[in-house]
Amino acid sequence: MFLTITELILTNSIFYYFALLPLIGYLEIHYLLKYFPFSRYFKREPEIYCDAPHRIGPRQDLPISLIIKDANKYPITLINVHIRIANGSDSPLEFDYKYNNKSNELWFEEIYYIDHTVLSGNLKIWCKIFFERKGKLKTVTN
C-alpha cells in the first residue's frame, strides 16, 4: 500500500519538517525575524565573495571574480585583495591587488584574469579580502 505525500505529512510529523526545509534552508546574513531580536548569522557587513569556474578550456586565462553585495547599506573601504594559487607541486603563485576606494553601491564586481601560461593541473585557490568598516580592519577568506 502506497501513501500519498499528504498522508505521510499528516501521519509522521518529521516529514512535515523536512518538507519545510527548502523554505528555511537559504541563509541570508542581513535578515532578522520580527520577534527575534537576535540572529546567529546576522552581520552588519556587506556580503563579500570570490568565485572562479570549476573548469576552463585550454589556453584560456583563469577569471576570478570578486563580488560585494549590499555595500549601500553597510559601506566599506576596500583595501587589498590577495589571491594565492597552488597546484601541489610548484611553489604557490601569489597576486596582490591594492585598492583604497570606498564602496557604497548595491553591487560591486571586479574580475581578475590570471595568465594561463603560469597555470597547470588541478588548482587550489585562496582569496583574502581586506577591508575597513567603521574604522576596524576586517578580513574575509574564501
For residue 135, the model assigns a pLDDT of 92
Half-sphere exposure of 40 (CA within 13 A, CB side): 1
For residue 94, the model assigns a pLDDT of 94
Half-sphere exposure of 5 (CA within 13 A, CB side): 4
Collapsing DSSP states into helix, strand and coil, what is residue 117? helix
* Terminal Cα-to-Cα distance of the chain (whole angstroms): 49
For residue 87, the model assigns a pLDDT of 86
Per residue of the chain (142 residues), give pLDDT as tens: 555 655 555 555 555 556 655 555 555 555 666 666 676 667 788 889 899 998 898 899 999 999 998 889 999 999 999 999 998 777 899 999 998 888 888 888 999 999 988 888 889 999 999 999 999 999 999 8
The fold adopted by the segment(s) 47-141 is Immunoglobulin-like (2.60.40)
pTM, 2 dp: 0.72
